[in-house]
Amino acid sequence: MTKYYKIKKIDGGNMNILYIFAHPEPKSFNSSMKEMAIRHLKEQGNEVKLSDLHGMRFKPVLDQSDFLQRRKNDSFNAFLEQMNASIEGTFSEDIITEMEKVKWADFLIFHFPIYFTGMPAIMKGWIDRVFSAGFAFNPIKQNFYEEGLLKGKKAMMVITTGAEEEWYSKGGKHGDIEELLRYITHCTFEYVGLEVMDTHLTFGAGKMSEQRGNEELKRYQERLNTLFPQDR
């Protein structure tokens, strides 16, 4: 009988939060947001684990080296190899480490800047490699959205843009950002069973004054307070 990872929600008490972060510059505004968020969440009594993808030098490419034991050696089918590794527990060590964090977490925060109206390659690579068939979704049942293997967990994106808000509005030059992000919120996160919270957006991050930067940090902190109130 096929054995899939079982994801169990932890009810009551403080939250286990996995913070997946993708920005290459430790002195960036994004990094300041991340540091503030982790500090604030811990002060509230939550447990937080960080996956700083650039700091970890996380490998973004799904390839043959992801699997310690191959099902087929004459040709490479990533989907079938993921299924086999989920059953046998033969993913590479870096993938297993991230999967253990996901299993531990109640809430996943994906924090990244927009690159060409999408997520950076290193973040997409984390999803490609960690949200594997047999771990994040069960391809045999095919009730992906209703019975994704990460059901019971929540997720939120924290996103910064270079362009100002009007560029990402309906009729704007880039188009409505909510429509642009739907392939992530619905076709990725909801696909694996995650309950998706509204995205926290910061526009024009590369051109902010110090005052506005401080205001945006405060706004992000206030958003975190609504997600993880101290008096639960």
- Rounded Cα distance, 96 and 101, in Å: 9
Is residue 134 part of the annotated active site? The answer reads no
Token pair listed for 36: 């503030």
Catalytic residue among 168, 193, 200, 220: 168
Residue position matching structure tokens 């509005």:
169
- Rounded Cα distance, 20 and 15, in Å: 16
Do 161 and 114 meet the contact criterion of CB atoms below 8 Å apart? yes
Burial label, 73 (beta-carbon count in 10 A; 0-12, 13-18, 19+): exposed
Is residue 168 part of the annotated active site? The answer reads yes
Token pair listed for 193: 């069973």
Catalytic residue among 118, 174, 175, 204: 174
Is residue 40 part of the annotated active site? The answer reads no
Q: Which helix (H) or strand (E) holds 76?
A: none
The beta strand positions in the chain, using DSSP E, are 16-21, 47-52, 107-113, 154-160, 195-196, 200-202
Q: Which helix (H) or strand (E) holds 229?
A: none
Active site members: 162, 168, 174
